Amino acid sequence: IFSLHVDCKVTSRFAHTVITSRIVNRANESREATFEVELPKTAFISNFSMSIDGEVYPGIIKEKAAAQNEYDTAVSQGQSAGLVRITDRKLEQFHVSVSIAATSKVTFELTYEELLKRQLGKYELLIKVRPKQLVKHFQIDVHIFEPQGIRFLETDSTFMTNELTEALTKVQNETKAHISFKPTLDQQKKNSELDETLLNGDFVVRYDVKREAAAGDIQIVNGYFVHYFAPQEMPVFPKNVIFVIDRSGSMAGRKIEQTIDALMKILQDLRPEDHFNFITFNNKVVEWKSSLLPATEENVASAAALVQTLTARGGTHISGALLAAVGELERAEALPERSISMIVLLTDGQPTSGERNVEVIQENVQKAINGKYALFCLGFGFDVSYKFLEKMALSNGGIARRIYENADAALQLQGFYQEVATPILMQIEMQYPENSIEGLTKNNFKLFFEGSEIIVSGKISNELDLLPVEIKAQSHTSNLTLKEEANVKEKEHVFQNQRYIFGNFIERLWAYLTIQQLLEKAISAQEEEQKALETQALDLSLRYSFVTPLTSMVVTKPSGQQQKELANKPTEAG
């Protein structure tokens, strides 16, 4: 690898990353050149090309079925497994090889885009660095432009040494930052004798923006707007939370130990005004107490004592456990008037006791919850039916997460809990003038958790001078109405003379967000509606050239080699 350049431009949370690798074959016979990149699962690939001795081979994005047909005709059955696969909790890997003649050069270029999601008060840009060899010209450039102003910015890396730190520079003003990492060959070496590279791991940029306006911040480019809303310093709603914990045989050993670890820490994080209870299940469903208890020091200590005695054996009665949790919330009496009720399910397997049909379980649970409580589903490992958990969570106002069976599983569980531990708003409605906005993304939200962010985007359809917005929401202490007016011309002006903005970035941000939301909505929709949502998402994926779960990129190689390969977007549900 002669040179490797990662060029990332983040404009108002929307990240556009281009990775360019130049490889030369110094041997006197033809060799395989490999391009291997790990990218965030949340990103969509939007472009790829190889150029070999001046001839360009572009990747073409098509509807998945059409691409598959083309691929099948080109390839005898049983050939390559596709170019993209999930590699860990946050990443997937794009991998392509091409044979190049002696002394030939090849340039690979991959572009992907993603909207950075605020979690626990910060945005995180993750760049995986793993060249597997010393690279003469190695460089990472990150440009950030945040019109709201950068509140803080930090870089972090799992492979930095004192020498490598010298290759890192950071220049920053009120609204812009440029981070550059450009290690020389000597700085990359593990030691001076061996040609082994130190560059192996994560390069992470974390930051947050300033927030002045109460009703959030609106940005406009080429007639598309994005509205960011992340209120701060609000009173926290008391929560009523029931932890539903799987202790069937398959949880035995490390999984139950890590679960106990995480629960011990989560118990410490409960607030005195919260109420809580535990339900554990194998083929039997056991309620720790017959009703929810306030999270006093005494109750938390006695729950901790129970948690430490958890052992795992027996079957998996998911249905009975969830319905017991709902029943308990139904019967609960002395709960704070303005409070938020949630159920957190942790399981590592399929239902094996009681009702086993996942569709029936989903239906019964949804009927019982009836929109009143949020259900969060955590799937531990790869024996769970993630599809089932995801559908159940999304149908009941929650989210699903896969917990990877790594050393940090307890931290993953705790991190998830921290994200949902501080609800500060509920029933949030973001309102815009109906007759002047088209293609509005989701604009009402059940819950808002501190440290996250609500994002709404759309197209301003007629010549508006002012874009008025109104936000209605309930906080713990009152009902809020927040109003704001954005001056369209002024807002458009903010981005006009920015060197490193890729032109229509808010339009692409809008398309990215719309596709993500359509796909999410399709998960819990009925069959007919599901088809309609997927058709819409497919149209946008093709129009904006994104590799999404509905599209594939066909990569063509020079003649004489396996002609076509496919890059598909893997999903957590498989």
Measure the CA angle with vertex 338, ends 335 and 339; round to 5°: 60
Q: Which residues contact 134 (CB under 8 A, 6 or more apart)?
A: 185, 188, 189, 195, 197
Where do the H-state alpha helices sit in 110-207? Answer: 162-165, 185-188
Pairing of strands 374-380, 340-347: parallel
Task: Give Cα separations from 514 to 409, 440, 507, 518 (angstroms).
Answer: 31, 8, 10, 6
- Asked if residues 563 and 556 have their Cβ atoms less than 8 Å apart, the reply is yes
- Which of 78, 116, 79, 110 minimizes the C-alpha distance to 5? 110
- Which of 328, 304, 324 minimizes the C-alpha distance to 240? 328
Strand order in the sheet with 168-172: 168-172, 176-181, 137-145, 3-11, 14-24, 105-115, 44-52, 55-63, 551-556, 564-568
Measure the CA angle with vertex 496, ends 494 and 498; round to 5°: 90
Structure tokens given for 102 = 């002696």
- Which of 40, 13, 210 minimizes the C-alpha distance to 118? 13
What per-residue confidence (pLDDT) applies to 499? 57
- Asked if residues 240 and 512 have their Cβ atoms less than 8 Å apart, the reply is no
Amino acid at 84: V
Q: Percent of the chain at pLDDT above 70? A: 97
Count of CA atoms in the C-beta half-sphere (13 A) of 476: 17
H/E element, 7: strand 3-11
Q: What is the DSSP letter of 167?
A: T
Structure tokens given for 226 = 């994005």
Structure tokens given for 39 = 């990218």
Q: What global pTM score does this model have?
A: 0.95
Amino acid at 456: V
H/E element, 368: helix 358-369
Measure the CA angle with vertex 521, ends 517 and 525; round to 5°: 165
What per-residue confidence (pLDDT) applies to 380? 94
Give the integer Cα–Cα distance in Å for 116 and 125: 7
Look-up of token digits 């909790």: 89
What per-residue confidence (pLDDT) applies to 558? 87
Give the start-end residues of each E strand in 64-136.
84-86, 91-100, 105-115, 123-129
Give the integer Cα–Cα distance in Å for 167 and 139: 10
Look-up of token digits 């997460």: 401
Give the integer Cα–Cα distance in Å for 420 and 239: 10
Give the integer Cα–Cα distance in Å for 241 and 447: 15
Strand order in the sheet with 150-157: 123-129, 201-209, 150-157
Q: What is the DSSP letter of 550?
A: T
Strand partners, 390: none
Q: Which residues of 442-458 are buried (b: 16+ CB within 10 A; e: fewer)?
A: bbebebbbbbbbbbbbb
Look-up of token digits 């190695």: 138
List domains and CATH numbers for the chain.
Answer: 3-210 (2.60.40), 239-421 (3.40.50.410)
- Asked if residues 91 and 38 have their Cβ atoms less than 8 Å apart, the reply is yes
Q: Which residues of 212-240 are buried (b: 16+ CB within 10 A; e: fewer)?
A: eeebbbbbbbebbbbbbbbbeebebbbbb
Give the integer Cα–Cα distance in Å for 357 and 522: 21
- Asked if residues 419 and 374 have their Cβ atoms less than 8 Å apart, the reply is no
Q: Residue 286: helix, strand or coil by DSSP?
A: strand
Query: Is 253 buried (19+), middle (13-18) or exposed (0-12) by CB count in 10 A?
Result: exposed
Number of H helices and E strands in the chain, helices first, is 12, 31
Residue pLDDT, tens place only, 183-212: 999 999 988 888 899 999 999 999 999 998
Structure tokens given for 309 = 């005695």
Amino acid at 209: V
Structure tokens given for 477 = 């202490």
Give the integer Cα–Cα distance in Å for 193 and 6: 28
Give the integer Cα–Cα distance in Å for 376 and 370: 15
Q: Which value, to the nearest 10 degrees, does the dihedral of the CA atoms of residues 490, 494, 496, 497 take?
A: 130
Structure tokens given for 3 = 């040179």
What per-residue confidence (pLDDT) applies to 77? 45
pLDDT tens for each residue of the chain, 574 residues long: 999 999 999 999 999 999 999 999 999 999 999 999 999 999 999 999 999 988 999 999 999 988 888 777 765 544 455 789 988 889 999 999 999 999 999 999 999 999 999 999 999 999 999 999 999 999 999 999 999 999 999 999 999 988 899 999 999 999 999 999 999 999 999 888 888 999 999 999 999 999 988 899 999 999 999 999 999 889 999 999 999 999 999 999 999 999 999 999 999 999 999 999 999 999 999 999 999 999 999 999 999 999 999 999 999 999 999 999 999 999 998 888 899 999 999 999 899 999 999 999 999 999 999 999 999 999 999 999 999 999 999 999 999 999 999 889 999 999 999 999 999 999 999 999 989 999 999 999 999 999 999 999 999 987 899 999 999 999 999 999 999 999 999 998 888 766 555 668 999 999 999 999 999 999 999 999 999 999 999 999 999 999 999 999 999 888 777 778 889 999 988 7
